[in-house]
Amino acid sequence: MIPSFNFTTIPHILFGPRKLNELFEIIPKFGKNVLFVIGENSLKNSGRWDAIVTELIHKSLNYYEISITGEPSPRLIDDSVGKFQHKKLDLVISIGGGSVIDAGKAISAMMFKKDSIKNYLEGIGNKIHDGKKLPFIAIPTTSGTGSEASKNAVISEIGPKGFKKSLRHDNLIPNLSIIDPELMISCPPSISAACGMDALTQLIEAYVSPKGNPITDALAINGMKFMCENLLKACSLGASNIKVRTAMAYGSLISGITLANAGLGIVHGLASSIGGYFDIPHGVVCGTLLSEASKMNIKKLEEMGVSGREALRKYAQVGALIKGKNTVENRDIKDHCSNLINTLNDWTDQLKLDRLGKYCIIIDDVDKILNKTGIKNNPVNLNREEIRSIIMNRL
């Protein structure tokens, strides 16, 4: 029977090459005063930012600009809000990777608050955000985090007392997301690989999540199909192929919709704890752990027998999909799961995903990581030693 579920809307979406051009017709519907949140480099180096500014001036729109580097910290959000809170603003627009979109999402959500974002972060503060925000438009330049369709902004404070936690409310889903694959063409292979593996992780974790429903299941499988066919191409000879980038952009978008409604699993549990302690890109943590985590989950589900069968069948479905098959026979579940693990292993190698050790994570760090790791909506419970072995195998 179809389980009961809640589904928390999705943004209005404009999807396709050159859809960015429609932005300038859309802004006036919200107002004349825009705060742009952008990254430090690529948008400006490509000349695109200058073209955007020219058009803004041509349309007599007032704009402010914040450039950010790295993943957003509470301080960055608080300072930005403090700087722009008293200006007349109608709209916040982020153009960039997941960090830029999360930053813009958080800034738009804190614009009517008088205190720090820390007070509203899950597991950190004691206050619950009420969803009041400035309208927000997300324009991703990577195919990765899915933040363009999700209801949370991930905020990080890195260090011994570090954390990586979400500001979350149904109303934080962007009002509009413009997904223009032309913006992703210049994304370098290492970032395309990390972001792509993050999106794939999100699709797989949402698909096998016990919180899933028929809508997230149908979309996740569909997103994975495009992503699995194009991930390696996007990081190599197909990097400048708009068809490949369009497929990756679609997979990323769908990963945001599915994670917002079905949740995530152990890989993102680890990305949260590891990302709090160490300065490691989110996509790299997810990408480097996906294969080992999937292997562990599948092993545990096989041991569970009947009660693990539904999630196991879903892992098998992903394995079958990679081989271009739509249907999974009971007798083939084990083979398809093996195929999935082997393929993910292979992609981890081919995409040259860094091991955790590259970011100065050593054996002595593992216990403190484990102390802060939750399994989120993982399809099977994992004990401390099982989670330890996932980390150890990618140290």
Chain residues binding a second copy by CB under 8 A are 1-17, 19, 170, 213-215, 217-219, 221-222, 226, 242-243, 246-247, 250, 254, 325-327
Q: In this complex, which beta carbon is closest to a second copy, that of residue 213 or of residue 342? A: 213
Closest distance of CB 21 from a second copy, Å: 12
Whole-number minimum distance, CB 221 to a second copy, in Å?
Answer: 7
Q: For residue 108, give Cα distances in angstroms to 63, 136, 174, 189, 282.
A: 15, 6, 10, 31, 22
Nearer to a second copy, 30 or 163 (CB): 30
β-pairing, 136-140 vs 91-96, is parallel
Query: Minimal distance in Å, beta carbon 157 to a second copy?
Result: 32
Q: Nearest distance from residue 206's CB to a second copy, in Å?
A: 14
Of the pair 305, 324, the CB lying nearest a second copy is at: 324
Residue 48 φ/ψ, nearest 5 degrees: -65, -35
Nearer to a second copy (CB atom), residue 52 or residue 176:
176
C-alpha neighbours within 13 Å on the C-beta side of residue 196: 33
Instruction: Give the span between the Cα atoms of 92 and 90, in whole angstroms.
Output: 7
Burial of 122 (0-12, 13-18, 19+ CB in 10 A): middle
CA atoms within 13 A on the CB side of 373: 28
- Token code pair at residue 5: 């579920």
Nearer to a second copy, 158 or 242 (CB): 242
| Residue 72 Cβ vs a second copy, minimum distance, rounded to whole Å | 26
- For residues 278 and 354, give the distance between their C-alpha atoms in angstroms, rounded to a whole number: 14
Fill in the amino acid letter for 79. D
Shortest reach from residue 18's CB to a second copy, in Å: 8
**Residue number with CB closer to a second copy (26 or 124):** 26
CB of 320 or CB of 380, closer to a second copy = 320
Q: Report, in Å, the least distance between residue 86 CB and a second copy.
A: 29
Beta pairing, strands 152-157 & 163-168: antiparallel
Cα distance between residue 153 and residue 172, in whole Å: 8
120 DSSP assignment = G
Report how far residue 252's alpha carbon sits from residue 184's, in angstroms, rounded to the nearest whole number.
12
Gap between the Cα atoms of 378 and 210, Å rounded: 7
The least distance separating a second copy from the CB of residue 377, rounded to whole angstroms, comes to 18
Helix/strand/coil for 314: helix
- For a second copy, give the closer residue by CB, 39 or 146: 146
